[in-house]
Amino acid sequence: MVVAGLMVPGLAAVMALSHGCRPGRDRSGGGDNGAIEIEAARLLEDRSQPWWNNHRPARTNEPVPYSIEPSDDLGARKDPPIYTSQMPLGLARWLLAGNRPRAGHPLGGRPVVLLDVRRAGEFCAEHIQGSLNVPGWEVAKALETGGLSKLDRRTVVVVYGSRWPHYQVITQLKGSMGFEAVYAMEGMAAWKARGFSVVRDEKLVHFLKKLEGEGAPAAAAAPPQAAPESLAGVEPLALNVLMSAGIDLLCVFVGDRRSYESGHVPGAIHVPAGELSSRFASADKSRIVVVTCGCCQGKRGGPSEMAVRELGRLGFKRVLHLDGHMFAWMTAGLPVEFDDPHARK
């Protein structure tokens, strides 16, 4: 298989067979090749682009706006992941076609892979030809023993989903086992809006729509899916970045007092789950609230789930739990406090 100039023997067949994909048909045009050539040439020599900054986005001293919404789809963010380099659609299309920058360019001499982090069924139904599919929740495992472990760590990895990929996926790909150059791309909807080619299986697309209740009468709509095993949330490194950027959020520790004093996220206030209704009834419902505790680690039925549901009942719309809670926070080597915020000098 050739993925934008990278030879990965057998990888395409392995991914296709594991997901049960069948060959589809290319249903859309490839865009204006002349215009794409001009766009790519301009972007490649634009010194403000991240490839000229060691594949990192430009630094800014201003707080970065970021809309936090719980989601179990790691490829459907409305906004791009923060502090992540972005790959323009036109340049991604140019690279995927096998074109290469001039000798000595930061992107030159590097393999390029388009990584689709949507669910396997969505990928099989419709995808960018030549892309690799690893669903968002499977990225960590794929880096250790799966398809991603076989790739050169110098590979330029362009990540996308139906829309923008989640920051959690980016941090995993850039971790100690990950890649030097990771870029986020806007996603399938934007790709098709540009008129770029996709491979599409009409029968499978129709089946998925019926499964989701979009193509069937109301009475025949699919029953709601069972609740996931863990609550949607934000992972420790992402939360630390948000806090460092000065984004306005409230971190609430909902476990017992002993657990709170054993270590909590800096600035977190202690409000036991049973006291939320009295303490937050008149609070600003537009604030981002991050819920954490020290015992349940985000598993269903624990204090964090009770707290998230209670805050939702009170009218808070932007409530997340800290994935893995304090165990994950400490394992990541992030700072910990032991006193109430008001007690600090």
Per DSSP, the three-state class of 273 is helix
To the nearest whole number, what is the mean pLDDT of the chain?
A: 77
Name which residue leads in pLDDT, 51 or 244: 51
Residue 207 has pLDDT above 60, yes or no: no
| Alpha helices (runs of H) in 231-313, residue ranges in sequence order | 236-244, 257-261, 276-280, 303-313
Question: Residue 47 CA to chain centroid, in angstroms?
Answer: 27
CB contact at 8 A, 131 and 185: no
CB contact at 8 A, 319 and 273: no
Residue 68: the pLDDT is 53
- Domain 233-343 belongs to what architecture? 3-Layer(aba) Sandwich (3.40)
Among 21-35, 69-83, 255-269, 309-323, whose mean pLDDT is lowest? 21-35
Domains 2-211 and 233-343 equal at CATH topology level:
yes
Nearest-10 Cα torsion for 204, 208, 214, 216: 70
Which residue type sits at 174?
K
C-alpha 91/C-alpha 39 separation (Å) is: 7
The residues, any chain, with a CB within 8 Å of residue 130's CB and separated by 6 or more, are 2, 3, 4, 96, 114
The 10s digit of each residue's pLDDT in 285-341 is 888 888 988 765 444 456 777 888 888 889 988 888 787 778 778 877 889 998 888
Question: pTM score, two decimals?
Answer: 0.58
The 10s digit of each residue's pLDDT in 72-82 is 678 888 888 87
The 10s digit of each residue's pLDDT in 213-257 is 544 444 444 344 334 444 557 778 888 887 887 778 899 998 888
Query: Given its phi and psi angles, is residue 10 left (phi above 0), alpha (psi -120 to 50 degrees) or beta?
Result: left
Residue 293: the pLDDT is 82
Domain ranges of the chain: 2-211, 233-343
Instruction: State which CATH number among 3.40.50.300, 3.40.50.2300, 3.40.50.800, 3.40.250.10 fits the domain covering 2-211.
Output: 3.40.250.10
What DSSP assignment string belongs to 322-345?
Answer: ETTHHHHHHHTT---B-S-GGG--
Residue 43 has pLDDT above 90, yes or no: yes
